[in-house]
Amino acid sequence: MTSLLDPGTLTGAPPDGEGDTGGRTVDVLEPATGKTLATVAVADAAAVARAVAGAARAQPGWACTAAAERAAVLRRAAAALREHRAEVAEWLVREGGAVPAKAEAEIADAVEELFQASALPTQPHGQVLPAEPGRSSVARRLPLGVVGVISPWNVPLLLALRSVAPALALGNAVVLKPDVRTPVSGGLVVARVFAAAGLPPGVLRVVPGDAEAGRALTADPAVAMVSFTGSTAVGREVGEVAGRGLKRVSLELGGNNPLIVLDDADLDSAVAAGAFASFLHQGQICMAAGRHIVHASVAREYTRLLTERARRLTTGNPWTDPVDLGPVIDAGQLERVHRIVADSVAAGAGLACGGEPDGPFYPATVLSGVTRTMPAFTEEIFGPVAPVVVVRDDEEAVAVANDTSYGLSAAVRTGSLERGLRLADRLAAGMIHVNDQTVNHQAVVPFGGFGGSGNGSRHGAQFGWDSYTRWQWITARGTASAGRRE
């Protein structure tokens, strides 16, 4: 089997489908060691403009390609990703700092996104509408044209493909700008599995780049839609620029997600769920549990058990050692996490465990006695930190959970399903899980949040129709009409 991502092919003039660069490169660093893994060409604004223009030229032909062939390309891309699973997993571990289990799960989810998208082209594309005799009236869905996708570093492969796959399946061309910290696993992998699948040249262009490239892609008049996944602050800028161009925009943004533990919950299972939700991938997931909201009668025991579990979690290089937590993505993010922890402790929170960085690693950290004014409550931490907030009853739990500008995910742990569902009805979040935890994903669900977590757009399966197509109404008569008769 040939290599999908030989580092020697990542430098210099990229293959077709990977855009062009404007002559600039960036070193891809391994967060755990600082080692340079590869040197990748990155795009400036002019290169993005050329990529968009090329995608616009290729899109009409792709839209006219038979639906069965478009579906087959998606299935072949899934097969290529499976074939190169071990190689892609290595890049997810070394480039993004994932532990192997997270990398394997991400690849499996990405394959499922491709298969779900492959079902879209052969589904009905429209509706026959009521009309008077002698007249036909049809509404049909058409591709938008060129879709710009700006994807993040934390789950780089999956969060690129959940937009790229349905957009391509429905006849659009795509220009993908992965985060410059994960340009291989979040961009070049995507380009190469689609090249292996036989996607026609130019239909997908990958342009790794920084903020300059992102602004250029968002503002380009030939881009009909922008799908952005990232921070709320940057999402607001993307939405503003896209709005001036009257573009469609999908914003999948941050979260400060509550995990509510009621007084009748099984604490052992609640702690297991809470630890997973806060510490998976070093807490660098938009759905991570950012606030553990616990009834007062069980808060002391819950905190004790959570602290014991957190202390058992190991940190280190996930490529060389069997660790539970890998590195934080870069020094800037590490400093931010530590600042939130230190400021919260200074404001009166208890440091139950963790709280001190070790090189690029941050240990699983539990904060007790967190109040609604502390940074660990008000900010999205995006690090392996579990703030515990104590509440008196269900009423206060709901009020505390909803005390945020975000509204992505929430979870409730309880011994009573009926009680959990009653609380779920009152939580302001796009996704709510009773007796589970906040980090859940499936390719078939309407994934998205409220408020500062996004603009209500949805990813997943049939919901791609609403995101990546537009309606057109067509009527026809057998003979010319003289005009409307009142």
CB 444 within 8 A of CB 461: yes
64 is catalytic: no
Q: Which of 28, 286, 16, 53 is nearest to 148 (CA)?
A: 53
List, edge to edge, every strand of the sheet that includes 409-413: 350-353, 365-368, 385-391, 289-295, 257-261, 409-413, 431-434
CB 136 within 8 A of CB 433: no
Q: Which of 187, 151, 191, 182 is nearest to 15 (CA)?
A: 191
- Angle, to 10 degrees, between the axis of helix 156-169 and the axis of helix 85-96? 130
Residues ≥6 apart with Cβ < 8 Å to 16: 195, 201, 202
Q: Return the biggest CA–CA distance within the chain.
A: 81
CB 305 within 8 A of CB 315: no
- CA-to-CA dists, residue 198 to 77, 79, 117, 304, angstroms: 8, 12, 16, 55
Of 30, 95, 112, 252, the catalytic one is 252
Distance (Å, whole) CA 273 – CA 302: 12
Q: Which of 430, 411, 424 is nearest to 292 (CA)?
A: 411
Residues ≥6 apart with Cβ < 8 Å to 15: 9, 191, 192, 195
Category of 371 on φ-ψ map: left (φ > 0), alpha (ψ -120 to 50) or beta: beta
Of 95, 106, 286, 380, the catalytic one is 286
- CA-to-CA dists, residue 266 to 93, 282, 322, 368, 412, angstroms: 34, 25, 29, 20, 12
Burial environment of residue 31 by CB neighbours within 10 A (0 to 12, 13 to 18, 19 or more): buried
Q: Which of 106, 372, 413 is nearest to 256 (CA)?
A: 372
Half-sphere exposure of 461 (CA within 13 A, CB side): 9
Q: How is residue 149 annotated by DSSP?
A: E
Q: For residue 93, give both structure tokens.
A: 């571990």
Helix, coil or strand: residue 476: strand
Helix, coil or strand: residue 195: helix
Q: For residue 347, give both structure tokens.
A: 């404001």
Catalytic residue numbers read: 252, 286
